[in-house]
Amino acid sequence: MTASSKNYSSYSLGTEQSPQSILPWVVIPLALSFVVILITTTQSTLSYREIFNDPADTVIFNPLMGFVSMLGLFCWAAAAAIALMTYAVIRTRETALVRRFFLAAGLFTLLMLLDDAFMLHEHILPNVLGIRERYVKIGYLAIAAAFGLGFLRMFIRANFSLLALAGTFLGASLLFDNPAVLRAMGWWEDDFILYVAEDGAKFIGITLWLTYLAKTAIETLGRSMPDQAGISPPASR
């Protein structure tokens, strides 16, 4: 058996594991699930049906309502999963810059997912915590700027065109979401601009961000672990 096949066999499925090694993988998701259920069942704002059931069934509306928005959430979740899983795989293999990039990208994408899913900057933070929406947006822009400046070298050397396209469309969606800009352009009452242009640009930006992270992750994994990625190392002479 060659060294590469031995290395590959260590990653194969079906190997026996001790109960101690499996226990955290059982306890942690169970604990998190019970915490979520406990929190949701002790609040008094929503009924059990409203908080556990499918919204389309609870409110009685067409399940395809919000179709594009829901697809966007799926793409946010996929992008976050790709980034965080890549970080977990390469945490002992790549440079500190690359490891920190995938970790930060995963956490940043999770933040965008939570904001998009639960309307944090539009409803929760302004109405529940009293933080004005404009300040929340400024905070998000500051986080995005810190992320971009902190990993500028990584952005420039890896699939920059995809990243630039994603940023362009996401930036356009922010522009279309600005009431002052829409009123100045006379678009405030234009449903096409308010919904198709804004949310369409955001959806395109999210899918491009997902594509960027997926392509960068594939290239990073191929470089970090060529045997497992199906890339044969150069033959020794």
70 and 58 part of one domain: no
CA dihedral (7, 12, 17, 21) positive or negative? positive
Digit-coded pLDDT (tens) for 164-181: 999 999 999 988 887 777
Average pLDDT over the chain reads 87
DSSP string, 99-146: HHHHHHHHHHHHHHHHHHHHTIIIIIIIIIS---HHHHHHHHHHHHHH
Digit-coded pLDDT (tens) for 202-228: 999 999 999 999 999 999 999 887 655
When divided into structural domains, the chain yields a total of 2
184 belongs to a structural domain:
yes
Q: Tokens representing 187?
A: 């678009």
80 belongs to a structural domain:
yes
The amino acid at 150: G
**In this predicted structure, what is the pLDDT of residue 31?**
97
Mean pLDDT of 24-53: 93
216 and 151 part of one domain: yes
211 belongs to a structural domain:
yes
pTM here is 0.84
Mean pLDDT of 147-174: 94
